[in-house]
Amino acid sequence: MAQEKIITLENGWQLSYLLDVGKRKNMYICIKEGRVIVKLPIGCGVKQAEELIRLKFHWIAKNLDKSNEVKTGFTGYKEGDSVMLGGRRYAISLINSERYFKPYFENDALVISVNKGYTEDYVKAQAELAAKEKATEIILERVSRFTALTGLCPQRVFVKELKSSWGRCSSDGKISININVAYFDVECIDYVIIHELCHLVHMNHSADFWALVEKFCPEWKRIRDKMRN
């Protein structure tokens, strides 16, 4: 049975991986659905897995970049196209205006100013700028909710693009949430946040860690599987 492990590499990058020890002759690493899986022969363990990860670090980073490419949630960048953020769909509304105004969300619309000579690339840039700001707002609001609910309070919270995971928790109590998780629905956002908050107590993926996750997110297995599909 595969076990979930975490390794902290020299550059401070925390990498979660599945350790699969079984009947095989060779050891190797594969990436499936954005997950690093280290496959080892019987008799090997965490020490050998970590040595292999460090040896293959650059290959892992390169291929995770490809595997973890996240759809932005946009259906397109024309009038009537839309973006899904936090489980809510917002339609792009283009407003002809001689004066520029910053794009904003209103009710179920993402409002963007355009002039006579606008291009789709311009709309794309404006829409994605607004979406990143909205995504950060959504994530931070959910973090605030769950720090109050769980009593688990990080030293600092960062919302940014992460290459290899949906979230990270450092040994000094800082957590990072991948901004792209906002393109999933709310239960997925909540699971990622709870996962990282629980690492403030258990800096591993032990049975105690998962028991704590389950306390605050009973459906975590189903949600995690949904995010991997």
Sequence letter at residue 172: D
With beta carbons less than 8 A apart as the criterion, state whether 158 and 176 touch. Answer: yes
Q: What tokens were used for 165? A: 């995971």
Q: How many residues does the chain have?
A: 229
Evaluate if pTM is beyond 0.75.
no
- Residue carrying structure tokens 């949630």: 73
Burial of 82 from C-beta contacts in 10 A (0-12 / 13-18 / 19+): middle
How far apart (Å, rounded) are the C-alpha atoms in residues 70 and 73? 8
CATH assignment of 139-228? 3.30.2010.10
Helix (H), strand (E) at residue 198: helix 186-198
Domain ranges of the chain: 3-67, 82-138, 139-228
In the beta sheet, which residues pair with residue 16?
Answer: 6
In the beta sheet, which residues pair with residue 14?
Answer: 8
| Nearest in space to 110 (alpha carbons), one of 122, 120, 102, 118 | 102
Sequence letter at residue 27: M
Q: Is residue 65 scored above 80 in pLDDT?
A: no
% pLDDT > 70, the chain: 93
% pLDDT > 90, the chain: 64
* Average pLDDT in the chain: 89
Q: What tokens were used for 6? A: 């975490």
pLDDT tens profile 132-178: 999 999 999 999 999 999 999 999 999 998 876 889 898 899 999 99
